[in-house]
Structure 1
Amino acid sequence: MLTQNNSNRMTELRTVLDRSTVPAPHREDMSFAMTLGKQGLAPPWPTGPQQATDWQIRQTLNVLEQADVCVISPGAHAAVMAAAATLEPADVTTLDRETDIHAPTGFVVLPEPVVLVNRGGGLSDTVAFGWQFITQHQVLPTSTYPGVQLTTFMDRDGPVQPPEWRMVVTQARANHTPLPPFVPDGMYGLRGDRATTDQSTEDLASLSAEHRQLNQALNRVARPNAPSEIGEWDGGRIEDAHDDFAARYMFAFWRLASHGTTSIGPVTPRPPSAHPDTTSQRPDRDIRVVRLTHQVPSQRARPEDARQSRVYSRRWPVRMHKVRQWYPSTQEHRLIWRGPYIKGPADAPLVMGEKAYLID
Structure 2
Amino acid sequence: MIAATARDVPEIRARMTDWARDPELDGAGNWFRFFLGPSPDGVTESRVFDRVDDVGATIAGTLAIQLPAAKLFYVSADMTDLARHAADPLTDCRLHPEDLPAQIGVMVYEHPPVEGTAAGRHNDVTVVSWGPGRGGLWVHTWATTSASQQGLVRIGRALAQLPHDEMLARARSAAARNLPEPTPDNKPSDSEEIADQTADHVLATFLSNLERAQVPPSFTPPHGYEWCALTPMEFAEMEGWPGGVSEGKSSGDTDARIALQRTILATWLLMGQTLVRSEPMTAPRAARRRIERLDPVLDPTVRYIDLRRARTEPSDRPDDDVEKGMREYRHRWIVRWHWRNQDYPSRSDHRPIWIDPHFAGPEDKPLLGGERVNVLRR
TM-score normalised over the length of structure 2:
0.54
Partner in structure 2 of residue 144 of structure 1: none
Which amino acid in the other structure matches residue 137 of structure 2? V
Evaluate the alpha carbon distance shift between residue 250 and residue 162 of structure 1 in structure 2; reply closer, same or farther with a 3 A threshold: same
Secondary structure of the 2:283 match is coil
Q: Which residue, 337, 341, 350 being the options, matches 1:333?
A: 350
Partner in structure 1 of residue 339 of structure 2: 322
Which amino acid in the other structure matches residue 52 of structure 1? V
C-alpha displacement at 1:333, in angstroms? 3.0
1:188 aligns with 2:231: yes
Partner in structure 2 of residue 79 of structure 1: 82
1:123 aligns with 2:129: no
1:292 aligns with 2:307: yes
**Matches of 1:331 and 1:55 in 2, distance apart?**
34
Partner in structure 2 of residue 273 of structure 1: 286
Evaluate the alpha carbon distance shift between residue 274 and residue 47 of structure 1 in structure 2; reply closer, same or farther with a 3 A threshold: closer
**Matches of 1:340 and 1:149 in 2, distance apart?**
34
Evaluate the alpha carbon distance shift between residue 171 and residue 272 of structure 1 in structure 2; reply closer, same or farther with a 3 A threshold: farther
Partner in structure 2 of residue 152 of structure 1: 141
1:61 aligns with 2:60: no
What whole-Å deviation, never above 9, does each CA across 1:122-164 have from its counterpart, x for those lacking one? Answer: 412101000112341xxxxxxxxxx2110001113x4553632
**Matches of 2:282 and 2:119 in 1, distance apart?**
39
Evaluate the alpha carbon distance shift between residue 274 and residue 294 of structure 1 in structure 2; reply closer, same or farther with a 3 A threshold: closer
Greater strand content: 1
**Matches of 1:322 and 1:54 in 2, distance apart?**
40
C-alpha displacement at 1:331, in angstroms? 5.6
Partner in structure 1 of residue 331 of structure 2: none
Secondary structure of the 1:186 match is strand
Which amino acid in the other structure matches residue 322 of structure 1? W
Greater helix content: 2
Q: Which residue, 251, 270, 282 being the options, matches 2:265?
A: 251
1:106 aligns with 2:105: yes
**Identity fraction in percent:** 17
**Matches of 1:275 and 1:290 in 2, distance apart?**
21
C-alpha displacement at 1:9, in angstroms? 9.0
Evaluate the alpha carbon distance shift between residue 73 and residue 8 of structure 1 in structure 2; reply closer, same or farther with a 3 A threshold: same
Q: How many residues are aligned here?
A: 250
**Matches of 2:337 and 2:147 in 1, distance apart?**
28
C-alpha displacement at 1:168, in angstroms? 3.6
Residues 73, 289 of structure 1: 8 Å contact kept: yes
Which amino acid in the other structure matches residue 252 of structure 1? A
**Matches of 1:276 and 1:320 in 2, distance apart?**
45
What whole-Å deviation, never above 9, does each CA across 1:286-325 have from its counterpart, x for those lacking one? Answer: 1111111342369xxxxxxxxxxxxxxxxxxxx7312333
Evaluate the alpha carbon distance shift between residue 344 and residue 171 of structure 1 in structure 2; reply closer, same or farther with a 3 A threshold: farther
C-alpha displacement at 1:269, in angstroms? 2.4
1:133 aligns with 2:150: no
Evaluate the alpha carbon distance shift between residue 52 and residue 168 of structure 1 in structure 2; reply closer, same or farther with a 3 A threshold: same
C-alpha displacement at 1:165, in angstroms? 4.0
Which amino acid in the other structure matches residue 281 of structure 2? T
Residues 73, 107 of structure 2: 8 Å contact kept: yes
C-alpha displacement at 1:73, in angstroms? 1.0
Gaps in structure 2 of 5+ consecutive residues = 1-30, 163-215, 314-335, 359-374
C-alpha displacement at 1:71, in angstroms? 0.7
C-alpha displacement at 1:69, in angstroms? 0.7
**Matches of 2:303 and 2:39 in 1, distance apart?**
34
Residues 72, 291 of structure 1: 8 Å contact kept: yes
C-alpha displacement at 1:345, in angstroms? 5.5
Residues 84, 114 of structure 2: 8 Å contact kept: no
C-alpha displacement at 1:76, in angstroms? 1.1
Evaluate the alpha carbon distance shift between residue 336 and residue 288 of structure 1 in structure 2; reply closer, same or farther with a 3 A threshold: same
TM-score normalised over the length of structure 1:
0.56
Evaluate the alpha carbon distance shift between residue 176 and residue 4 of structure 1 in structure 2; reply closer, same or farther with a 3 A threshold: closer
Residues 106, 129 of structure 2: 8 Å contact kept: yes
C-alpha displacement at 1:337, in angstroms? 1.8
C-alpha displacement at 1:70, in angstroms? 0.9
Which amino acid in the other structure matches residue 245 of structure 1? A
1:35 aligns with 2:46: yes
Evaluate the alpha carbon distance shift between residue 345 and residue 257 of structure 1 in structure 2; reply closer, same or farther with a 3 A threshold: closer
Kindly name which structure, 1 or 2, has the bigger radius of gyration based on alpha carbons: 2
Evaluate the alpha carbon distance shift between residue 36 and residue 116 of structure 1 in structure 2; reply closer, same or farther with a 3 A threshold: farther
Residues 83, 267 of structure 2: 8 Å contact kept: yes
Secondary structure of the 1:244 match is helix
